[in-house]
Amino acid sequence: MEILRTPDKQFENLKDYPFEPCYTTIKTNDGSDLRIHHIDEGPRDGPILLAMHGQPVWSYLYARMVPHLVDQGVRVIAPDLPGYGKSDKPAAREDYSYQNQVDWMTAWLIENDFSGLTFFGQDWGGLIGLRMVAREPDRFEKIAMGNTGLPYNPDVSEKVIEQVQEFRKNGPKLTLFSMAKEVREMDGASLSGEEREEFSPALKFMYWQKFCWDTENLPIGLLCSFQMENRSQLAIAAHYLFQRLGLEKISPFATDLLRAYEAPFPDPSFKMGPRAMPSHVPTLPDSSLEAQKDAREFFATSQKPFLSVFAGDDPVTNGIEDDVLKMAPNARSAPHIGGGHFYQWKRPEQLSRLLAEFIKG
């Protein structure tokens, strides 16, 4: 396996990310060495929160939460998934799969011998992390999650499967704006398995999947800035033009946050993970089906305290909470706190307080 490593200089002078790096090297199935990064902040004897990010971000997403959690006596461990942040980045599309991410991160968990954990995951951090909990349950005391789920879709119609596959292969090339228009129209049932005759969530999510894969220089920083900062449409469009021309490094429309989310990727060859990952979300029946079923059966009978804490204003995940609460009868639902898909950044104090109360309660 060819593995890329982002030079340290890419992360110099990041705003609001003063954390010392921690590195763990694991072995992949083909015997390659894969280095995974995490931060470890707060009192060594404090209760531990394992906080996992999704696509296309990295542990920088938790930078605003860490001080609030540490102030409340919580130790925060936040890794970067392989392909993201300061972790190594396998170079080929075939290197990435849902199962590989679960295997890699479980190996990282075992290598560090972490235990007594409260888990929190959002987006792909939830999809991967919940599978980790089901595989290594004795390492976890409590489970929290939001703006994510554990998708299980065994009954998608053949018509929808064919339509999605045809669109991914032969559909029109999408721009940032044509993709965003379709994704905004999702009704919140995108990962929950809910399907109606006139609408399947897979038929909207496929726009995000195709855009990410077809866009070799995926505008990761701009996507994050768009969702986490108050930017004018003009500034977004102007930076997007610079990006498409290959001039993003000299764009006058870049912000500190935008640069932070582009930092892991010195050039487009480093972006294979974020490009490939959306196509692995199991909105259609795929190779993850049995593993998803097994994990859901674990949560159906688990007595571990379980907190569902959703933003409530994220069009991609709004409807998933109903499925989470059905999957985990032991779960309780926290009040929705707003902040959109990346509420870790936009509601850091509120989310930190809910999690700290859950950890200590």
**Catalytic residue list:** 123, 314, 341
Q: Where are the alpha helices (DSSP H) in the chain?
A: 65-71, 98-112, 124-135, 158-170, 176-183, 202-214, 220-228, 233-244, 256-262, 272-276, 289-301, 320-327, 343-346, 348-360
What torsion, rounded to 10 degrees, do the Cα atoms 282, 284, 286, 289 define? 70
CB-neighbour burial class of residue 33 (10 A; exposed 0-12, middle 13-18, buried 19+):
exposed
Element (H, E) at 144: strand 140-145
Instruction: From residue 79, give the alpha-carbon distance in Å to each of 32, 129, 154.
Output: 20, 11, 31
CA distance 246 to 237: 14
Q: Are 81 and 87 in contact (CB under 8 A)?
A: yes
Q: What is the DSSP string of 73-87?
A: T-EEEEEPPTTSTTS
Joined together, the tokens standing for residue 154 give 């065994």
Considering only CA atoms, which of 202, 245, 268 is closest in space to residue 56? Answer: 268
Find how far residue 33's CA is from the centre of its chain.
23
Sign of the alpha-carbon dihedral angle for 313, 342, 26, 66: negative
Q: Which residues contact residue 253 at a Cβ distance below 8 angstroms, ignoring those fewer than 6 apart?
A: 235, 236, 238, 239, 242
**CA 162, CA 165: separation in Å to the nearest integer?**
5
Q: Give, as one character, the DSSP assignment of residue 310.
A: -
Instruction: For residue 321, report the phi and psi dihedrals to the nearest 5 degrees.
Output: -60, -35
